[in-house]
Every structure is written in structure tokens, then in C-alpha cells.
Amino acid sequence: MKERYEELIKIINEADYNYHTLDNPTITDQEYDKYLRELFDIEKQNPSIIRSDSPSVRVGGKVLDEFKKVTHSIPMLSLSNVFNESEIEAFDNRIKKEGISPNYVCELKIDGLSVSLHYEKGKFISAATRGDGVIGEDITENVKTIKTVPLVLNKPIDIEVRGEIYMSKATFNNLNEKRKEKGLPLLQNPRNAAAGSVRQLDSKIAAARKLECWIYHLPNPEDYGITTHFAALEFMKDLGFRVNPNNKLVYNINELLEFIEYQTKNRDSLPYEIDGIVIKLNNIADQKKMGFTAKYPKWATAYKFPAREVLTKLVDIKFTVGRTGQITPNAVLEPVIVQGSTIRRATLHNEDFVKSKDLKIGDTVSIRKAADVIPEVVRVIKDRRDGTEKDFKMIKFCPICNEPLIKKDEQVDYFCLNPNCDARKIEGLIHFVSRKAMNIDGLGDRIIEDFYNMHFINNFVDIYRLGNHKKDLVELEGFGDKSIDNILNSIENSKSNSLERFIFALGIPNVGEKTSKILAKKYKTMTNFMEADFDELKSIYDIGEIIAKSIINYFSVDYNKIQVLELIKIGVNEKCLLTESVENKNFTEKTFVITGTLSSSRDEIREKIESLGGKVTDSVSKKTSVVIVGENPGSKYEKAQKFGIEIWNEEKLNEMMNK
Ligand code: IVH
């Protein structure tokens, strides 16, 4: 039994390492669960034999009264910061001035909290937070639950290593999702969430938080005969620690700047948050030569990404009405520049969002705008309140038509259900002409609003009758013959759009661009689509009950039906003209993952697969039907083999596409 017990510990620890540290599972979930259950049974029957490196410690259990204080034998230092190229150059020059010709290791600056891990004879003994750098807190029980922290090393050595504990973006979002459901206050960011989790006295809670860890520092490299930081990273990796694969050895400042540029762009595609790049002198002898200040090593620094968050004042909260009648509170902000663009407004989504952030009018708030992301209010700075702030109050009546607002089912949003509400109608018209819908050039949001208010257009059909008002329109300020002709031309051209645009333009709730395409392909004409029944709609791949219900509801309103028929009568094309969309049985309703380098770009392949009716996702799971493998494939290929998923090379892909 003892032998089996030891064997199980080895199997499970290895499986954890392969899955969590190498991201390369070697056994199936079922097998893993089976081994774990067997181990738990043995431990339950024979509590006296439980080993400290048993994976059963990962589930947590101990509840502490407090965290013990720990003194770090070597202080845990922080890093100095640099913010731009010239400060990086100055750092490089300070090193060169000491007669060093530097090589640097560049690393991602993980946004979490630093941890020191101690091992004796290769077994995990204890873990501590940084604290004030000299005295930290003993978080051993919680760190045991982190599956990327090995409980046993590949060599029976005594060692201290340091790294960063963090929470992935996905885990953070899930956690907040759950907190929202339970009505608990939301956590501000993954770093706070990780720090809060590490400081749980009940290690079961910490275990449930699914923290992760990257190791990046060996305080005593000389003890192991190691002379460079890069070799230290390799050494720690070989011992079984999780070392970030993005770490790079660079030989000059240009390579260093290139690394920064690349990682800055790549930042949002990482599954965890980083807040900069750490630059470390590679040679340990050179590090010694540079030495330390009281707070920082002089041989390393952190390049910090420009702030994505800026403080400003929440001047007011104004409500807007969307085309579905949804009411949105919007923050009116004192204009601020964030990452190069001026922000004046930010959506506050709904009443719950405003309440969860505890926003008051007049508050100082922190605004964030990541690249290509709409601005958002991150949090309120409560310290800045002076008592003059006004409470937020949700409105009860539509700000445009004054109808009472309604909450649908269990939803958080309020709606104006008046189909004749001016705001809803204007938004509906704006959507109808928009680029991805009927694509009518020249009819911008303002013009639609003006034409509506001047009673030239009241519904979709009126757009196609605008020509009747040509005489009046050319007289309007800012317009002339030519601009009106252009608008009328593009209205005329829009009549020949393919069906998917027509469907999308109607603005049926929950029917987006992608769904419209699926529906157009399926029904071929608007007339067919209008007659679709609920069960048939629901049975279409990628269309669920909510969408089906929404379509049925839309056409159950006579006015909507009449309007669509009128549009067809006026000459709006009702046929699906998608040509490339010959569906191919090898692709329809299948999910694909692409790995490695192929002769066309992944985006091109993705588009082609989608046009043939398939779906492309990023990670291999049980739902994956086929993994397409190019040159130098990643761990996805191995995962596919392990899970027995069908694998196609490029030749096979082309063959299937042409079948
Ligand atoms: S090296 C003496 N490397 O950033 C070496 N720190 O702002 C000290 N951090 O306290 C740390 N990623 O918590 C190092 N790759 C990395 C890091 C990193 C994140 C954190 C760490 C440190 C803080 C300094």
C-alpha cells in the first residue's frame, strides 16, 4: 500500500507539472481524477502516512488565526522604474560607465505579488510574502495550493527561489462574475484579487482562487555554481519551476527596445496582466559590481508601460436610449487625454454597474482606455470626496418619450418599450444605414437625426422615398445638389445588397452580423426568413432559443412585417448573394484549432474555414473536431494527439477544402 501511495504521489505531481507548468497534459481528466480519488482513499484510511509533498495538500484545509512573520535572510528588494527610451539609455550608460559591456535578460513584469519559496532536500517547506522587504508573512499553506508551485523538485537540494504569484485574466473575470451573481462587491483587478487570495486565513478559499506563479529570481546563484541570470532561469526551470518562456537574452540596447516594442503590442493577448518589462544585467559578476541602493538593485530596472488609467471628474450622468429601448447611464467627464485620445464620455452600462462602483456625481474617478478598447470608468477615488457629491438615482421614465421604464425578466437593464419613442426610432435608423448594415454613405448619425426631426424620414421605407423631397433637401443649409445626389445614389445602390445586410439592418434584438449571415445562407430570401418557425430557427447550428424567440417576436408585430414587405416592393433585394459560401460537409458544424506556421496566415485560413461553415477557436478542448498543424506546432499539437483529436496537415486541409 505504501508503495502504491508513493507511486500515486509521483504520478499526480508529474501530471500537475505537465498540465499546469508545461501546459502539456499527459493524462486525461478522468485518469487524473481516478488517481486522486485513490490517493485520498489511502490517506483517509491511513492518516499517519500522509506526506508533506502529497498533492492532497493542494486542496487546502488548514485555517490559520493569523499569518506568522518571517524574516528574509536576503532582503526582497523592489525595482527602480524607467518610463521611456531616454531613461532606459541612461540606465544602460550607468552600467557601461562601470566598464561593463552589458548583456541583459528581458522579462515580462508580471502584475501580481512577489513570493519567496524555500525548499529543503528538494521538498517545498515554506513561502513568504515580500512584506516590507525584510519581514514578510508566512503564506505556506496558501502557496501549497498553487499548482504551478512544485511540491517536489527534480533534485534533492536546498534552495530559495523568488517569483510572482498572480491570477490569470480568465480566472479573475470568472471570480468577479460569481461575485456579481452573489451580490458581492467586485474586485478591482487581478493583482488585488491575487493579493487578497494569498491573504486568506482559510487555505480552502485560496485553493479555489486558482492562483498561478512564475519564478524569476535565484537569490544565491553562486551556491550552485551559476554565473549568469539566464543560466539561473534555466537551472530553475530544470528543477521543475515554472519559468516564463518570453524571457529573452539580448546583446544590445536596440534588441532590448525591440523586445519592449513587441511585448507592448502583444500585451493584451497574454492570458495574464503585465505592467512593464524587467531589464536585468545577465552576468552575476557584473551584477555584484553594480550593487544595490537601500531599496533597489542597481543591476536591474523595470520599464513601466504608460498609464492606462487617468483621474478625472464625473461631472454628470446622462441617460441614452438605444434602438432596442435599452436605457444606458453615461458618464459625462471632465475631458482628459488617455493614451493619446481625449475622453469625454464613458458608458456606465446600467444601474447595477453604477451601484457596484458606488459612483456619485462630482466624484473623482479613474478612467481607463486600453488600445482599441472603449473608455471605461474603473473606480472612484473615495478619498477625494468633499461631501458635495450627489447620489446617483436611476430614472423611472424614458428621458425622451416619458413612458415608464420596464425591467425585462431578471435582466439588469431597463427598457423603454414604446416603439414610437423618438430616440429608439432614430437609433434604429442610424443602425439601418450603418456600414455593416445597408451601408448607405453620406447619411451620418447627425443627418439621420436632423432628417427625422424635420419629418423627412420616420421609418426605413422613408429612406427610399427621400428622393421625393429632393427639392426641399437641396435647400437645407450645408447641402447642395451634389451632396444630395450622392446620398440618393448610395441609397439606390443599397437596394442591391445581399440578404444578410438586409436582415442585420432590421435591428432585431440579438441578431448580429454573424447570425444574419447564418440566417441569410439558410433561408436564401427574406420572404422565407419571415416565415421561419421557432423550432426550425432553434435547430440551426449556432442559433439558440433567445435568438429564435427574438426573431419570432419581431415578425409577430404587423408593423415590422409590413415595413419589410414594403421595402421589398420598393426594390430592396431580398435574395442571398453570398457566393463563396458553398458549404462543405468537411467543415460545417465542426470546430477547428490551428497551430504552427502554414503557407497562408491564420486569419486567412480562419476566414476560409468559416466561409465553408466551420468554426475556429484558439485552444484545444474536448469540443475540438480537428487540429490543423503547420510547421513548428506548439503544445496544441501534442494535446490533440493525447486527446485523440483528428489532425490535418496543410495538404489534407487543402484537399478537404476542395472536396
Ligand atoms: S525581479 C532583485 N522580475 O515587480 C530582483 N520582479 O516593481 C527583484 N515583478 O517586487 C525582482 N515581474 O514583485 C522581477 N520578471 C520579474 C518581475 C518582477 C514582476 C515584480 C516584483 C517586484 C516588483 C518591482
Each residue's pLDDT tens digit, 491-525: 999 999 999 999 999 999 999 988 999 999 999 99
Q: Is the CB of 173 under 6 A from ligand 1?
A: no
Place of cell 525595482: 79
Residue 370 is predicted with a pLDDT of 59
C-beta separation of 82 from 305 below 8 A:
no
Mutate to test the pocket of ligand 1, among 164, 191, 244, 298 (most ligand atoms within 8 A of CB): 164
Q: Is 500 in the pocket of ligand 1 (CB under 6 A)?
A: no
Q: Which of 34, 69, 109, 585 is catalytic?
A: 109
- Ligand 1 pocket member 278 (CB < 6 A): yes
pLDDT for position 617: 87
Classify residue 615 by its DSSP letter: E
Q: Distances in Å between the alpha carbon of 572 and those of 458, 505, 558, 577?
A: 18, 12, 19, 13
Q: Give the distance (Å) from ligand 1 centre to CA of residue 109.
A: 6
Lowest mean pLDDT among 195-209, 246-260, 619-633: 619-633
Mean pLDDT across 178-188 = 78
Question: Which grid coordinates belong to 19?
Answer: 498540465
Residue of minimum CA distance from atom 12 in ligand 1? 109
pLDDT of 362? 97
Is the model more confident about 62 or about 137? 137
Query: pLDDT tens digits, residue range 10-29?
Result: 999 999 999 888 888 888 88
Q: Is the CB–ligand 1 distance for residue 114 below 6 Å?
A: yes
The C-alpha atoms of residue 522 and residue 543 are separated, in whole angstroms, by: 12
pLDDT score, position 75: 93
Amino acid letter, residue 503: I
Query: Identity (one letter) of the amino acid at 158?
Result: D
Ligand 1 and 331: CB distance under 6 A? no
Residue 236 Cα, ligand 1 centroid: separation in angstroms? Answer: 16
Active-site annotation holds for 521: no
Q: Give residue 340's pLDDT.
A: 67
**Ligand 1 centroid, distance to 247 Cα (angstroms):** 13
d(CA 508, CA 551): 7
Cell 451601408: give the residue: 439
110 DSSP β-pair partners: 274
pLDDT at 581: 53
- What average pLDDT is seen over the chain? 92
Cα of 78 vs centre of ligand 1, distance in Å, is: 6
Any ligand 1 atom below 6 A from CB of 109: yes
Chain segment 189-243, per-residue pLDDT in tens: 899 899 999 999 999 999 999 999 999 999 999 999 999 999 999 999 999 999 9
**Which helix (DSSP H) or strand (DSSP E) does residue 313 occupy?**
strand 309-321
Cβ–ligand 1 contact at 248 (below 6 Å): no
d(CA 68, CA 137): 6
> Reduced to 3 states, what is the DSSP secondary structure of residue 405?
coil
Nearest residue (by CA) to ligand 1, atom 18, is: 109
Asked whether 532 and 523 are in contact (CB, 8 A), the reply is yes
Task: Give 580's pLDDT tier (boundaries 50, 70, 90).
Answer: low
Within 10 angstroms of residue 82's Cβ, the number of other Cβ atoms is: 20
Residue 388: other Cβ atoms inside 10 A:
8
Check if the beta carbon of residue 107 is closer than 8 Å to that of residue 277. Answer: yes
Nine-digit cell string for 595? 497551430
Pair 127, 152: CB distance under 8 Å: no
pLDDT above 90 for 640: no
Centre a 10 Å sphere on the Cβ of residue 190 and count the other Cβ atoms it contains.
23
pLDDT on residue 658: 81
- State how far the Cα of 290 lies from the Cα of 95, in Å rounded to an integer: 7
Q: Which of 79, 81, 108, 284 to mutate to test the pocket of ligand 1 (most atoms within 8 A of CB)?
A: 79
pLDDT at 371 over 60: no
Residue 372 predicted with pLDDT over 70: no
Distances (CA, A) of 545 to 235, 411, 536: 54, 16, 11
The answer for residues whose C-beta is within 8 angstroms of residue 652's C-beta and 6 or more apart is none
Instruction: Label the pairing between strands 81-82 and 300-304.
Output: parallel
Tell me which of 109, 111, 212, 241 to substitute to probe ligand 1's pocket, judged by most ligand atoms within 8 Å of the beta carbon. 109
Question: Is the distance from the beta carbon of residue 136 to the nearest atom of ligand 1 less than 6 Å?
Answer: no
Q: Is 111 in the pocket of ligand 1 (CB under 6 A)?
A: no
114 or 179: which carries more pLDDT confidence? 114
What's the gap between Cα 106 and its chain centre?
24
Q: Which three cell numbers stand for residue 411?
A: 435582466
Query: Is residue 183 over pLDDT 90?
Result: no
> What atom of ligand 1 comes closest to residue 302's alpha carbon?
7
Question: Quick check: 392 and 354 in contact, CB under 8 A?
Answer: yes
Ligand 1 close to Cβ of residue 473 (< 6 A): no
Query: 455, 602, 614: which is closest to 542 by C-alpha?
Result: 614
Cell of 583: 458549404
Contact between residue 272 and residue 190 where contact means Cβ atoms under 8 Å apart: yes
